[in-house]
Structure 1
């Protein structure tokens, strides 16, 4: 499946998450304070909560409901109560376009 435009880079605010959906897959797109765009699964593995409603700090996204923090680069939970990772998707930038293919994930723990 080819990568799909999910938003424009100009639509992303630093240190916030934006929820997008590609072929039924909910994804949280984050522009971190260093200017890197990340894409991780938008559903917390602990409580089935939208992560894009959470808090971005450095390279983590924290679930607003129970406080689990997920690495934006590996998808691994860094704090309890979550213990299962979320998927991390490959992000491609084409000018101002942010492209994601939900069928292509970064292997857990590999980072970017």
Structure 2
């Protein structure tokens, strides 16, 4: 059974940017790259820092604390000190709102 959750307006996210979304006691990161939405857990797997304060370039989010990097498409770690993948979620945009499937 799928559970699609509306998050934020797609137009509220600049290209190559990230925004924080909190739902049911959890934090998510919602990204916009090349006119497409992506979503992941909102905390770095290294020291649980909010990724919404990080830098997005192409399909990579860089953690603001220790500069660890993840591919936002699949969550795989791309650079030390992160070595644990970031959980990612399917997205869709309906009526201008990004929805994530959790």
In the superposition, the TM-score normalised over structure 1's length comes to 0.85
Could you give the per-residue CA deviations for residues 60-83 of structure 1, whole angstroms, max 9, x where no partner exists? 000011010100111011000010
Matched with 1:88 is 88
For the pair 1:38 / 2:51, whether they are aligned, the reply is no
Deviation at 1:89, TM superposition (A): 0.5
Q: CA RMSD in A?
A: 1.1
Matched with 2:100 is 100
Partners of 1:92 and 1:24 lie apart in 2 by 22
Partners of 1:65 and 1:16 lie apart in 2 by 17
Larger RCO (CA under 8 A, 6+ residues apart): 2
Q: Give the structure with the larger strand fraction.
A: 2
* Structure 1: gaps of 5 or more residues: 103-112
The size of the alignment, in residue pairs, is 101
SS at match of 1:52: helix
SS at match of 2:11: helix
Deviation at 1:16, TM superposition (A): 1.1
In the superposition, the TM-score normalised over structure 2's length comes to 0.93
Matched with 2:7 is 6
Partners of 1:25 and 1:101 lie apart in 2 by 14
Partners of 1:42 and 1:30 lie apart in 2 by 10
Matched with 1:29 is 30
